[in-house]
């Protein structure tokens, strides 16, 4: 649990602005993930990365971008192209399949 | 791609009763099936998982069963307690490396245990 941190906990954005969500882990995990959670929708995969300098689109990547320059960090940018960005965003990292989640960032677009 | 269906979406039981949540998956190559518990406003936490080489796994009051032929798996909670109240998610993955680290989640079950 404590090995994955996300910041900020709450984030407010005006329409048309890009915003970046931070995710850091000190578990030495190779793989990292970003999910979006909406009420009644479960967790939907946005992007994932299995190794530094490589990442793949998930099921709902449109309007989002990521980078993986360091093993410990996997920031997510929510761009103005994302039509409905208000949601709870969860970052995770994994080893041998088991995923460990960060505490989440709640993004609200005003 | 993989599709995971989870039922029921809400479940209300009396304290001490058992609760069962069921999931089906579509990809016969999936071989790793975790269950996560998420309390209100908190992060999901793994409570139990099962791999396709076994049919059942238990951990105290929690058990998971897997039927590979029918492509479904279930979470069983016995002697439920109020602190079991949460949203439970099932997931499926091919596991084992490469793009197979991806988990596909069900939509969740809100379990309420009434004292």
> Each residue of B46-81: pLDDT tens digit?
999 998 888 999 999 999 999 999 999 999 999 999
Taking the C-alpha atoms of residue B56 and residue A32, their distance in angstroms, rounded to an integer, is: 29
**A38 — contact with chain B (CB < 8 Å)?**
no
Q: Which two tokens stand for residue A60?
A: 């709902």
Closest CA to A6 of A110, A108, A100, A109: A100
Q: Do A99 and B103 touch (CB under 8 A)?
A: yes
> Each residue of A35-63: pLDDT tens digit?
999 987 889 999 999 999 999 999 999 99
Distance from CA of A32 to the nearest CA of B (A): 10
pLDDT score of B96:
59
């Amino acid at each position: 649990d404590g090995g994955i941190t996300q910041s900020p906990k709450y984030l407010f954005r005006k329409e048309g602005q890009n915003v970046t969500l931070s995710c850091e882990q000190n578990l030495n995990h190779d793989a990292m993930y970003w999910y979006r959670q909406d009420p009644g929708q479960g967790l939907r995969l946005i992007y994932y990365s299995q190794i530094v300098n490589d990442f793949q689109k998930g099921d709902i990547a449109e309007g989002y971008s990521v980078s993986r320059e360091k093993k410990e960090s996997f920031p997510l940018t929510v761009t103005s192209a994302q039509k409905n960005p208000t949601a709870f965003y969860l970052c995770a990292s994994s080893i041998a399949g088991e995923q460990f989640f960060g505490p989440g960032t709640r993004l609200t677009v005003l | 791609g993989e599709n995971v269906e989870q039922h029921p979406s809400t479940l209300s039981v009396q304290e001490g009763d058992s609760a069962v949540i069921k999931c089906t998956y579509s990809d016969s190559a999936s071989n790793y099936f975790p269950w996560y518990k998420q309390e209100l406003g908190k992060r999901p936490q793994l409570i139990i998982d099962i791999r396709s080489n076994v049919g059942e796994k238990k951990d105290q009051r929690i058990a998971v069963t897997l039927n590979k032929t029918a492509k479904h798996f279930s979470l069983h909670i016995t002697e439920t307690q109020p602190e079991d109240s949460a949203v439970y998610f099932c997931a499926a993955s091919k596991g084992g490396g490469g793009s197979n680290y991806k988990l596909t989640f069900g939509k969740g079950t809100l379990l309420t245990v009434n004292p």
